[in-house]
Amino acid sequence: MRGRRNAPLAFVLFLLTFWSVLPVLVRAQGSGGQLTVATDYELFGTSDLRGGGHVTWTLTGDKATDLRMKILHLFDTYPTIPKGFPSEGLATGRIPNQVLDAAEGVTYTNLLEERLEAAGKGTIAQYMRLYPFDLRDKAADEPSSFARSTSGLAGTDANTTGDVEIRFLFQANTSTADGRVELATRVLADSLYEPFSYRASQSASLAASGLYPGSWPFLPEDGWHVVNASGRPALGGRSAFWAGNDSTGTYDNGTDAATRTSMDPVFAPTLSSYTPFDFRYASRAWATFSYTGTVGPGDSLRLQYAYPPAYAVWTNLSFSNRPTLPPSPSGWSNATVNLTALLGQVARLRFHFVSDNTGRPSDVFIRDFALEAPASYVGEVVQSDIHYLIGTLSFSNPDVSSGGLQLIRTPGGELLTYGTRWEGSPPANDTIQFRTFDILDSPQILFGVMLVAAYGISRMQQAAYETYREAHEAIYRPGVHRTKWVHRSGKVAIGLLILLYFIPTAFLVTGFRVVVSGLVYLFLAPIVALVLGLGTRRHYRRRLAQPPSPAVREEGPLVHKVVLPPPSGATSAAGAIGQCTHCLREIGEGDPTYECTCGVSYHRSCAMSLTRCSNCHTSIAPTVLRGRKQVSLRCESCGENQTILEGSDPRAATCPSCGGLLGHLDEGKRYLILANNPAIALGWIRELVKSGRPALCLTPASPERLRLEFDVKTMSIVQVSSTAAGGIDPKKLDPLGLRAILPLSRQGQGGVILYDGLDEVIAEASLGDVIRFLRKANDMAFVHGVTVIARLAPRRLSDDDVKRLNAEFDEYLDLSSQV
């Protein structure tokens, strides 16, 4: 039943936990035509976290086709990477079959690896330095490693569709110990395209470099050449490129000269694909150059482009949105040419100067030409990060405006999940504070606070209930129940404290961007514990004015607290002259009494039921015994009629016919007996277990001796002793003793429990410990209909202590006068 009641609370906590993590995972699932960068980091340590992780690039739709074609064009077209690319001069492993072979693809992933490692500097992402990188699934040879670590690349061609996936692994360490870091980054997204960026620029001195002319990427042809700055003040001491007359310093009238570009003039003579610029990889393209001088009236200087293979039709390009260059007679000026129209094409450029035969001659010079064609990802990027961090680190104060973030805190470290998507630039406002140690946000310290607060709530509520229960008389205690909503509110509070410790971002699922920081938790946990603890105590104090009704069980043996009636003629305490040693009740002034030679007093009726004084064990005076009559009663064991002295308890008298006891105990009741040995109690137990009910004995005596002396070989016996091997320490009866009797109680068959030698247990522990144990154990026995017998040895406890013990039982029997 309790499990059913707690099921809704557990279900709600499960939903909160699931929804707390789900948004980030959903955000990371994109549609076609996008790039997804999924990374997981596993780091551990204290001041400097180290470890590694994995990164997976997934391209879908047109983006997958675009990257596939870039790799195919570069590595299946050129045997050697042309001049101007980041890895110029590197062999591509080309197999000219219009198929992206693994040998070609592994060259690309090697370049990607080099770009990420940045010559030993590594890649800085968030709070980490990633270095080195490698393909995730390594094999004996590199092409096989490429095929195993990628999908949608090896063996594909221009007609292939489907997604592309590239998987790398890396090592990592923290790059900062305390800082606010940006969560969104495009460094890993752009790294896929960096090997395709292109830049061709003239040298500053226009001097030749090996087989490459000083004017490269333009060829020195058709009158175009490099002119030395010597003797030409207009050049400002710098060399220049032109098609003019070095002697006159101007262009001759009637000049018609053109200089064309060559992407790589070293390889162009053997393979024509090296001649035109390849704009199939670029996301943008433009050209810049410096010039000085003036293009005279009637003359023209144009930058033009043409397509292969014939390069017959040349199309003019504009200079900063102008058809001609503006004059720059007194210094160097800069010009920019937009080459966007050439993206996705291969084309050749040329400077074409034409002069008429009239007018002022032109004197324009050119230098510092540069063609820029960077390659970067254009489109939607989905970023999905998972950080598994073990150590004293902490994340705090997240500021996430566009992405989804969840933080899971554990005693061993923290787990951070982050997801976002963007086009263009990543959201710069998504940041979080990272520290390798922060006393206010330490997951270990907060875990201790959570445990203390949860235990405090449970313990204070339980203590308040126990205090409330102890304030009632024993007859009422079985009917004293907890206030369910109060204790359930404590469970809910403990559940929320646990949830907010492990998932401080749990409120994000509700739409409220509220994160429970370590500082807030340090204040929240003890306040909640104190409010619930003190509130529960106040609640039960207010209920004390309304005592509950005596408990009534709906099923099983019905047991009420039995209060023995006072002896006949008993008076109020106001006229009492003493206390009866047998029944522990007052002796009135007019009551018939018997006083033993040892000085103790009895009601006469009580003395007539005894044969020996319970204090000194001397025989009761014959004058008293002679007053007792013989009475006849029926043995409850065999049914034979027997006679006993009037006032004798038949439950302590033996039947001469069957050897059993004349009377039986009422099942389900709790008895406290004063006896010299457990013989009578064990006799009662034999009668109670004849129908197969279980029995258990907790005793300070040796179980073997007890079995041999009293012939109880089948009964379970547990020794209560701090020195015996396998015994229960008397100081730990709660919970070890409760744990020992729990299986018998749960059988639901009734049964009987004997607490033998309680006086010895009290001597080794304390009266308070034993009473607390009996209170819980007797309640457990009452609920399950178990009969309880507890035995004290005579004269071992004070009368006050016996009274305190007696309050926990239904009936008190003084059998100390019996042998």
Mind listing the pLDDT tens digit for each residue in 700-740? 888 888 777 777 777 888 888 888 777 888 888 888 888 88
What is the DSSP-derived secondary structure letter of residue 441?
T
What is the DSSP-derived secondary structure letter of residue 734?
I
Helix (H, G, I), strand (E, B) or coil at 194: helix
Specify the pLDDT at position 695: 85
Specify the pLDDT at position 544: 79
Q: Which residue, chain included where needed, has tokens 């959903």? A: 26
Count Cβ atoms within 10 A of the Cβ of residue 253 and give its class: 0-12 exposed, 13-18 middle, 19 or more buried.
middle
What residues does each domain of the chain span? Answer: 31-183+380-415, 198-373, 443-543, 666-819
Distance of CA 676 to the CA centre of its chain: 60
The two beta strands, 811-814 and 670-674, are: parallel
Of 80-89, 394-403, 499-508, which has the strongest mean pLDDT?
A: 80-89
Q: Which residue, chain included where needed, has tokens 């992206």? A: 100
Write the single-letter amino acid at 340: T
Specify the pLDDT at position 731: 84
Q: What is the pLDDT of residues 334-357, one digit of tens each?
A: 999 999 999 999 999 999 999 987
The two beta strands, 34-45 and 50-59, are: antiparallel
Say if CB 647 and CB 810 are below 8 A apart.
no
Other C-beta atoms lying within 10 Å of the C-beta of residue 248: 10
Specify the pLDDT at position 24: 46
For 666-819, CATH number out of 3.40.50.300, 3.40.50.2000, 3.40.50.20, 3.10.20.30 equals: 3.40.50.300
Distance CA 154, CA 152 (A): 6
Arithmetic mean of pLDDT, 307-325: 91
Distance CA 754, CA 607 (A): 27
User: Would you place residue 546 in the very low, low, confident or very high pLDDT band (cuts 50, 70, 90)?
Assistant: low
Arithmetic mean of pLDDT, 98-117: 95
Q: Which residue, chain included where needed, has tokens 């009668």? A: 687
Say if CB 233 and CB 332 are below 8 A apart.
no
Instruction: Assess whether pLDDT exceeds 80 at residue 25.
Output: no
Arithmetic mean of pLDDT, 366-374: 96
Give me the count of residues in the chain.
819
Say if CB 435 and CB 48 are below 8 A apart.
no
User: Would you place residue 783 in the very low, low, confident or very high pLDDT band (cuts 50, 70, 90)?
Assistant: confident
Say if CB 432 and CB 40 are below 8 A apart.
no
Distance CA 274, CA 263 (A): 6
Q: Do domains 198-373 and 666-819 have the same CATH topology?
A: no
| Cβ contacts of 686 within 8 Å, gap of 6 or more | 660, 712
Q: Which two tokens stand for residue 389?
A: 């961090």
Q: Which CATH class is domain 198-373?
A: mainly beta
Arithmetic mean of pLDDT, 15-24: 49
Specify the pLDDT at position 645: 65
Mean pLDDT for the chain? 85
Specify the pLDDT at position 671: 87
Q: Which two tokens stand for residue 819?
A: 């042998």
No. of H helices and E strands in the chain?
16, 35
Distance CA 550, CA 547 (A): 9
Specify the pLDDT at position 36: 96
Strand partners, 389: 43, 414
Q: Which residue, chain included where needed, has tokens 């690309």? A: 108
Specify the pLDDT at position 62: 94
User: Would you place residue 217 in the very low, low, confident or very high pLDDT band (cuts 50, 70, 90)?
Assistant: very high
| Cβ contacts of 714 within 8 Å, gap of 6 or more | none
Q: Which two tokens stand for residue 481?
A: 């129940």
Of residues 739, 811, 813, the one with CA closest to residue 780: 739
Helix (H, G, I), strand (E, B) or coil at 588: strand
The verdict on whether omega for the bond into residue 143 sits within 30 degrees of 0, i.e. cis, is no
Specify the pLDDT at position 630: 65
Q: Which two tokens stand for residue 515?
A: 């994160």
User: Would you place residue 543 in the very low, low, confident or very high pLDDT band (cuts 50, 70, 90)?
Assistant: confident
Other C-beta atoms lying within 10 Å of the C-beta of residue 720: 27
Share of the chain above pLDDT 90, in %: 51
Count Cβ atoms within 10 A of the Cβ of residue 403 and give its class: 0-12 exposed, 13-18 middle, 19 or more buried.
buried
Burial 348-366, CB ≥16 within 10 A → b, else e: bbbbbbbbeeeeebbbbbb
Q: Which two tokens stand for residue 445?
A: 């310290």
Of residues 521, 464, 465, 528, the one with CA closest to residue 492: 528
What does each C-alpha distance from 36 to 257, 475, 638 come to in angstroms? 50, 71, 89
Share of the chain above pLDDT 70, in %: 86
Of residues 411, 385, 504, 433, the one with CA closest to residue 20: 504
Helices 102-117/61-77 angle, 10° precision: 100
3-state secondary structure labels for all residues of 618-632: CECCHHHHCCCCEEE
User: Would you place residue 571 in the very low, low, confident or very high pLDDT band (cuts 50, 70, 90)?
Assistant: very low
Distance CA 642, CA 644 (A): 7
Q: What is the CA radius of gyration of the chain?
A: 49
Distance CA 113, CA 103 (A): 16
Arithmetic mean of pLDDT, 94-118: 95
Say if CB 720 and CB 755 are below 8 A apart.
no
Helix or strand holding residue 454 (H, E)? helix 443-470
User: Residue 324 — φ and ψ, nearest 5°?
Assistant: -130, 165
Distance CA 576, CA 449 (A): 58
User: Would you place residue 805 in the very low, low, confident or very high pLDDT band (cuts 50, 70, 90)?
Assistant: confident
Specify the pLDDT at position 7: 58
The verdict on whether omega for the bond into residue 309 sits within 30 degrees of 0, i.e. cis, is yes
Of residues 27, 115, 43, 110, the one with CA closest to residue 75: 110
Specify the pLDDT at position 389: 95
The verdict on whether omega for the bond into residue 361 sits within 30 degrees of 0, i.e. cis, is no
Helix or strand holding residue 625 (H, E)? helix 622-625
Q: Which two tokens stand for residue 619?
A: 């025989």
| Cβ contacts of 697 within 8 Å, gap of 6 or more | 678, 685, 706, 712, 715, 716, 717, 718, 753, 754, 756
Arithmetic mean of pLDDT, 471-483: 75
Write the single-letter amino acid at 486: V
Of 340-349, 672-681, 694-703, which has the strongest mean pLDDT?
A: 340-349
Specify the pLDDT at position 568: 44
Arithmetic mean of pLDDT, 523-527: 95
Specify the higher pLDDT residue, 621 or 140: 140
Q: Which two tokens stand for residue 160?
A: 């292939």
Specify the pLDDT at position 15: 52
Distance CA 212, CA 468 (A): 98
Distance CA 651, CA 656 (A): 14
Distance CA 674, CA 817 (A): 9
Of residues 489, 505, 506, 498, the one with CA closest to residue 524: 498
User: Residue 182 — φ and ψ, nearest 5°?
Assistant: -80, 130
User: Would you place residue 781 in the very low, low, confident or very high pLDDT band (cuts 50, 70, 90)?
Assistant: confident
User: Would you place residue 502 in the very low, low, confident or very high pLDDT band (cuts 50, 70, 90)?
Assistant: very high
| Residue-wise DSSP of 489-552 | HHHHHHHHHHHHHH-TTGGGGGT------HHHHHHHHHHHHHHHHHHHHHHHHHHTTSPPPPP-
> How much is the pTM?
0.65
Specify the pLDDT at position 474: 67
